[in-house]
Amino acid sequence: MNKPVRQPKRKKLIQVNILFSMLLSLIISVSLNNLLIYFVYQAGTGMDWLKKAFPYFITPFFLLVFTITFFGLTRRIVKDLMTLERGLQMITEGDLNHRVPVHRQDELGRVAYNINQMTERLQLQIAKERENERSKMELITGISHDLRTPLTSIIGYIELLRTKSFQDQEEYTRFVQNTYNKSIHLKKLLDDLFEYTRLNSIDTRQNVHRIDLFQLLKQLLFEFEPIAHDNAIHIIKDIGSSPVLIFVDSDKIARAIDNLLMNALKYSVKPGAIHVRMITDPKQAAIEVENRGIPLTREQQEKLFERFYKVDHSRSSEGIQTGAGLGLSIARNIAERHGGTLTLDHVNDVFTFRLTIPIKDRDALLESEMQNL
């Protein structure tokens, strides 16, 4: 892509330039006309035939000199107009990398600048549409892959049960339990997908009301601790004891926090610990979820919040089924819809996810939501 040019300043008008060219052409034509008259009537003594024919010659001579002089003085304008026309022709033929040179500081310069601006915006719009199309294809591919795996397992177990291909009651119970587990996994994948598409819908509205963020986090940790205990993970809490009153959509914030906790549980070194902290000030509340895990490469870290991105399966816990790779993307989307952020601080094998939520009143939060839409 060519380097964008500066917008020309309004220094002079093209009308003034043309008027100046006309006046100068007129002066030159009149001057040469007068010189010719002087030469004929003063130096042409004895040439009566010339004096008789001269009146028929003087007017065409004046027009010829005026035309040649005017064309010469306006040649630059004509040349720039032709350059502008060729540039427009190239752009209309599909060469969006072409930029019209801007060397003037008048209307033609501003026209060339606006054409370049229009072309650049069109190029960016096309690139954005292509990126959206690529994202849609990735979305379809990701959905197909992640839903097919548990669905295939469910069909396989049901087929075994339908044909009574089990040896005893114990194996029958195991098949039924595995079918149930895969069904729950499939439901979770569909829930994640539904939540993601709903959050990205322009019609989505938040159910904003005043809650105590401390009590919400305390309740989520209470429900999470048994799951963590079953996976050899100890929860270390540093969330204070004071109420933190804030206007948010409690269901969505709970979903974001739960996604962070489950992500830490999946990728923690086991046995291990997950540190949960809440830090507040008059402007915002921050929830940090910290765990130890296998270090990521820079490329993996940069892609961690992308939808459907999942790190190597070898990092995941064998006892926890993998999701669709939407958890962190959903959590970041929820944070941004509340005017907050979700960031990752990764140092060696320590991962610290920080969810910040501004402490706003209801009107300010709704205004922030409209800006995100």
Instruction: Give residue 291's pLDDT.
Output: 92
Task: Delimit the domains of the chain by residue range.
Answer: 14-125, 127-200, 209-314+321-371
Q: From CA 192, how far away is CA 262, in angstroms rounded? A: 13
CB burial of 2-11 (b: ≥16 within 10 Å; e: otherwise) equals eeebeebeee
Instruction: Give residue 123's pLDDT.
Output: 87
DSSP 317: -
Give per-residue pLDDT as tens, 8-18.
555 557 777 77
Instruction: Give residue 1's pLDDT.
Output: 45
Judge whether 127-200 and 209-314+321-371 match in fold.
no
Dihedral sign for Cα atoms in the order 55, 59, 65, 68: negative
Instruction: Give residue 214's pLDDT.
Output: 92
> What does the block give as tokens for 260?
């962070």
**Third-level CATH fold of 127-200:** Helix Hairpins (1.10.287)
Half-sphere exposure of 331 (CA within 13 A, CB side): 25
- DSSP readout, 41-56? III-TT-HHHHHHHHH
The CA-atom distances, in angstroms, between 14 and each of 5, 10, 17 are 20, 10, 5
> Would you say 231 and 265 are in contact if contact means Cβ atoms under 8 Å apart?
yes
Instruction: Give residue 317's pLDDT.
Output: 44
Q: Tokens 């948010």 label which residue?
A: 248
Return left, alpha or beta for 315; rule: phi > 0 is left, psi -120 to 50 is alpha, else beta.
alpha
Instruction: Give residue 60's pLDDT.
Output: 83
Helix (H, G, I), strand (E, B) or coil at 219: helix
What are the φ/ψ torsions at residue 308 (nearest 5 degrees)? 65, 10
**Third-level CATH fold of 209-314+321-371:** Heat Shock Protein 90 (3.30.565)
Instruction: Give residue 201's pLDDT.
Output: 61
Dihedral sign for Cα atoms in the order 267, 273, 279, 285: positive
Locate all alpha helices (DSSP H) within the chain, ordered by sequence.
14-38, 48-73, 75-92, 107-162, 169-199, 213-230, 250-267, 298-303, 327-337, 362-372
Q: From CA 91, how far away is CA 113, in angstroms rounded? A: 14
- Interior CA angle at 272 toward 269 and 274, to 5°? 100
**Spatial CA neighbour of 297 closest among 284, 315, 271:** 315
Is 0.75 surpassed by the pTM of this model?
no
Where the chain has pLDDT below 70, the residues are 1-12, 43-54, 139, 142, 196, 198-205, 303, 305-325, 360-373
Instruction: Specify the amino acid at residue 159.
Output: E
